[in-house]
Amino acid sequence: TPNASSSSSSSKRGHSNPFPRKLMDMLQKEEAAIVSWLPRGDAFVVRDNDRFVSDVLPRYFRHTKLTSFQRQLNLYGFRRITKGP
């Protein structure tokens, strides 16, 4: 049907909220030694900043600056946690 094809073609473009999708994809696929979920699954940690910036960010985003990534996180309501429970 025309509706089915138009909705599937728009979902293939993936223009709505690409950052959260890319973030989830990255957290599922990348090495835990670089970036991973914390055990409770309510936060993630970048364990190797250098490899994260040089290897991981370019795979998912157009920028390769940690500050740009942090700014995007802030826009989506993520906050930095400096101390665990």
Residue located via tokens 């700014």: 71
| Winning range, highest mean pLDDT, from 8-12, 60-64, 71-75, 81-85 | 71-75
> CA neighbours within 13 Å on the CB side: how many for 18?
9
Using an 8 Å Cβ cutoff, are 44 and 38 in contact?
yes
How far is Cα 4 from Cα 71, in angstroms, rounded to an integer? 36
pTM for this entry: 0.74
Query: In degrees, to the nearest 5, what angle opens at C-alpha 46 toward C-alphas 52 and 58?
Result: 25
- Give the pLDDT score at 83: 75
Q: What is the pLDDT of residues 10-40, one digit of tens each?
A: 444 545 679 999 999 999 999 999 999 999 9
More confident residue, 85 or 30: 30
